[in-house]
Each structure stands twice: as C-alpha cells, then as structure tokens.
C-alpha cells in the first residue's frame, strides 16, 4: 500500500486538534543525563563485539525522525518482537486527562523496521541522544537484538516495552487503542500525528504492518465523526 491510500490525513488531524497544548512538566518526570548514564554504560558493557559498528533498530518515530548521525540504513526484520501501540503517553503526545499512546515492541511475532548504523567512535557519545530520547520516560527497556537485513545480519540496540511501567497498556484491542489515539494530544502534537507519520514512513519504505493500517483507518473514522 502507498501513503496515498491512507484514510488518516494531516488535514483531518489538524481539524480535530486545531489548538496547541501547553507542556505540563509534572505529567511525566524525566530522567536527567546523569541518571541515564549508568544504564547506558551497562548496555554498552553488555554489547558483544566492542569494535563492531553500532546499530539501532527503529520501528516507530525513530524511522522518520532519528535525531542522530546516520552512516547507513537498511530495512531489517526482527523476530520475537512485534510493533504495537501499548505505551501510554501522558506528556509530549498526550496529557494525564487525555493520554496518547505510542509504539513499543512487545513479546512475540516479528517486526520489520529500519536498522541504522550510527556514525562515530565513542559509544557513549554516539548512543546518548537516542538513549536519552527513549529511556528518559521509564517506558522502555533496552535490548541488543539480532536483526536480519538484505546485506546480512546485524546486532542492534532497540527499545522494547517495559511491562513493569505504569504506562504499559497491556493487550488493549484496536478499537480501544484508536479511541485513545484519536483524543490524545500533547505539546508535541496529537497522538494521531505520531501514527500518521509512522504509517506513512512504513508505506514509503515498503513495510506493510496490518496493525498500523487498521489503526489509521479506525482513527480516521473517529476524527471524521
């Protein structure tokens, strides 16, 4: 499917959420770089092949907004984890009263995404931007995973859902997820915009994820009602 076949559109989202939302720093206390550094150091120490290139496996917003220097990118296939909207967002893309929901990797199945090879030699300096972005809200756990690519397998860092977090939704059905996405909006924008950018990026890359395609249609129905 192509981005043109989406029923969820930027115009539909803008009509549903025309007003900006102020940031509420009390909605989610984020970790500082000093608090994040020990966990990053442990992750780097657990990595096999210290001289091997650093790879990150992206399946959500990192695909369309990586915010780090990229030396190479490949379409990758990860087994044992699947992409799912299962992490509540009470800040950034939602509020405590109307949380949004964002993607994480949950157990089982498989996922196609993008493997990024990062540019730079110092693992801590190279990984801290993505570590800060994904780990500051305590919603994810970091894993080194084997990713299959057309050019051969790579070991990549990725971020799976932290099931112990109070942000983990569990196995909500797709209509319930769509309800939350349709109403959630934070200071970074609507939760529906996050879905729109992600499904558009997947379509442009030739990645068809039935979960995303069903959700975009369900959210479009709700926003257009």
Residue 110 has pLDDT above 90, yes or no: yes
CATH number, position 58: 3.10.490.10
Digit-coded pLDDT (tens) for 166-185? 999 998 999 999 999 999 99
| Euclidean distance between CA atoms 31 and 50, whole angstroms | 27
Whole-number pLDDT of residue 4: 66
* pLDDT band at 87; cut points 50, 70, 90: very high
Whole-number pLDDT of residue 120: 83
**Mean pLDDT (whole number) for 42-49:** 89
3 state DSSP class of 181:
helix
Average pLDDT, the chain: 95
Whole-number pLDDT of residue 167: 96
* pLDDT band at 70; cut points 50, 70, 90: very high
Q: Given 25, 35, 67, 134, which residue is catalytic?
A: 134
Whole-number pLDDT of residue 102: 97
Residue 1 has pLDDT above 70, yes or no: no
Residue with tokens 């220097």: 69
Residue 81 has pLDDT above 70, yes or no: yes
In the chain, the number of structural domains is 1
Residue 68 has pLDDT above 90, yes or no: no
Nearest to 58 by CA among 207, 215, 210, 219: 207
Whole-number pLDDT of residue 208: 92
Q: What are the residues whose beta carbons fall under 8 Å from the beta carbon of 49, sequence distance 6 or more?
A: 155
Instruction: Write the CA distances from 3 to 40, 43, 201, 216, integer angstroms.
Output: 36, 36, 8, 11
Range of the domain at 59: 3-224
Give the angle 49-53-56 at the CA atoms, nearest 5°: 105
- Catalytic site includes residue 134: yes
Residue 49 has pLDDT above 80, yes or no: no
Digit-coded pLDDT (tens) for 187-204? 999 999 999 999 999 999
Residue 141 has pLDDT above 90, yes or no: yes
Digit-coded pLDDT (tens) for 9-30? 999 999 999 998 999 999 999 9
| Euclidean distance between CA atoms 126 and 119, whole angstroms | 7
């Amino acid at each position: 499917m192509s981005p043109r076949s989406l029923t969820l559109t930027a115009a539909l989202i803008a009509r549903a959420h025309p007003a900006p939302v102020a940031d509420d720093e009390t909605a989610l206390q984020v970790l500082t770089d000093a608090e994040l550094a020990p966990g990053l150091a442990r992750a780097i120490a657990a990595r096999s092949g210290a001289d091997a290139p650093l790879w990150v496996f992206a399946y959500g917003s990192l695909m369309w907004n990586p915010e780090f220097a990229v030396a190479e990118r490949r379409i990758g296939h990860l087994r044992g984890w699947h992409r799912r909207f299962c992490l509540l967002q009470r800040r950034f893309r939602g509020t405590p009263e109307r949380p949004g929901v964002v993607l994480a990797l949950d157990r089982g199945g498989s996922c196609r995404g993008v493997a990024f090879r990062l540019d730079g030699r110092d693992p801590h300096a190279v990984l801290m931007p993505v570590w800060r972005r994904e780990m500051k809200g305590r919603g994810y756990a970091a894993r080194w995973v084997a990713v299959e690519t057309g050019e051969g397998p790579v070991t990549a860092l990725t971020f799976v859902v932290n099931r112990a977090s109070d942000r983990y939704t569990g196995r909500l059905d797709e209509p319930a997820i769509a309800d939350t996405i349709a109403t959630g909006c934070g200071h970074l924008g609507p939760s529906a915009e996050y879905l729109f950018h992600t499904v558009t990026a997947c379509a442009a890359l030739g990645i068809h994820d039935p979960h995303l395609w069903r959700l975009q249609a369900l959210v479009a129905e709700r926003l257009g009602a």
